[in-house]
């Protein structure tokens, strides 16, 4: 790293690891890129493929067109479903219209979908821990018949919940939740309904858990933390909450230009991380931007190593 002029005030950057792209996001982006190679532009994408403007704009420049509903996709044009998952009715509708489609749903979200179907087949009502209106929640609810699942957002929801048959319950969770918040809700549910069926393994994905653990690891040493991510990115918002619960002020930014340097007055040690939809290039952009104002000492704090990769859908491997 080029040494900045000595006149600049010093700042230590603690950069959390793991951070940034997870295997599901990597896979989703590659699916769109390979679909464009295979079919030619344009390729339509239902909903943002992942919640990151930089990524979406980059794919749009390559030939992706982002739409909210299938009705906006012209007949015969290929369409990709986002990493967050979609209700069953969406691929069914695509099939009815003979639209070529590729499902970029994260395999860890698909695992939750399969568990939801299994629990309903066993006659259980599902209590789903998640955030109302999030695409992943909408997609998961769309895997089962209407009324088979109840959304639980808070501990208060869990405490007030009324159910018809307390011995025929299961719970599942959104994959991008706060680990601590979810544990508190689960504790209430298991106390109130001792026979409730838990998911097979942890529903909160490895990337969400790892990024939250990494923020916890640096929070005590930092005067402030910056989280790179989109305001509609659940896992990025949770990283801000994790930092603040540890007593460290935190801010969410999408790009380096959103940094308010007045907020860094008096900050000697600044933490930096990125949500699972934010590419590493944005981390380096932020470091460079801060380096124009401060003499940076940079240190990475690694709490886990991620080696997970997901296979692409059939038909794209050779693209």
Q: Say if strands 125-129 and 149-152 run parallel, antiparallel, or are unpaired.
A: parallel
CA–CA distance, 182 with 184 (Å, rounded to integer): 5
Active site residue 136: yes
Q: Say if strands 101-103 and 125-129 run parallel, antiparallel, or are unpaired.
A: unpaired
Q: How is residue 259 written in tokens? A: 């940094």
Phi then psi for residue 128, to 5 deg, are -105, 120
Closest CA to 253 of 56, 52, 83: 52
CB atoms within 10 A of CB 15: 20
Q: Say if strands 64-67 and 169-173 run parallel, antiparallel, or are unpaired.
A: unpaired
Angle at Cα 186 formed by Cα 185 and Cα 192, nearest 5°?
95
- Which ranges of 220-299 does DSSP label H, i.e. alpha helix? 234-245, 280-291
Place of tokens 């998911």: 199
Place of tokens 């998961």: 140
Among candidate residues 92, 136, 298, 306, the one labeled active-site is: 136
User: Which helix H or strand E contains 150, and what residues bound it?
Assistant: strand 149-152
Q: Which positions are annotated as active-site residues?
A: 136
């Amino acid at each position: 790293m080029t040494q900045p002029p000595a006149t600049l005030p010093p700042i230590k950057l603690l950069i959390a690891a793991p951070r940034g792209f997870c295997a599901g996001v990597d896979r989703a982006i590659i699916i769109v890129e390979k679909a464009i190679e295979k079919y030619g532009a344009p390729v339509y994408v239902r909903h943002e493929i992942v919640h990151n403007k930089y990524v979406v704009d980059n794919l749009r420049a390559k030939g992706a067109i982002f739409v909210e509903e299938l009705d906006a996709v012209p007949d015969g044009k290929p369409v990709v479903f986002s990493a967050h998952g979609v209700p069953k009715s969406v691929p069914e509708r695509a099939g009815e219209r003979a639209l070529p489609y590729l499902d970029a749903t994260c395999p860890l979200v698909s695992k939750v979908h399969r568990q939801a179907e299994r629990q309903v087949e066993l006659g259980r009502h599902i209590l789903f821990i998640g955030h109302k209106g999030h695409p992943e929640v909408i997609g998961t609810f769309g895997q089962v018949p209407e009324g088979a699942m109840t959304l639980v957002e808070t501990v208060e929801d869990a405490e007030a919940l009324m159910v018809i048959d307390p011995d025929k319950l299961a719970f599942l969770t959104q994959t991008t939740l706060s680990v601590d918040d979810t544990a508190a809700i689960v504790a209430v549910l298991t106390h109130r309904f001792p026979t409730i069926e838990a998911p097979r393994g942890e529903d909160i994905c490895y990337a969400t858990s790892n990024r939250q653990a990494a923020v916890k690891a640096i929070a005590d040493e930092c005067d402030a933390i910056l989280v790179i991510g989109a305001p509609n990115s659940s896992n990025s918002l949770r990283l801000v909450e994790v930092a603040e619960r540890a007593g460290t002020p935190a801010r969410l930014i999408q790009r380096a230009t959103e940094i308010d340097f007045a907020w860094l007055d008096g900050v000697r040690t600044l933490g930096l991380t990125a949500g699972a939809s934010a590419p590493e290039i944005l981390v380096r952009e932020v470091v460079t931007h801060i380096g124009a104002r401060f003499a940076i000492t940079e240190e990475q704090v690694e709490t886990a190593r991620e080696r997970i990769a997901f296979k692409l859908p059939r038909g794209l491997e050779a693209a």
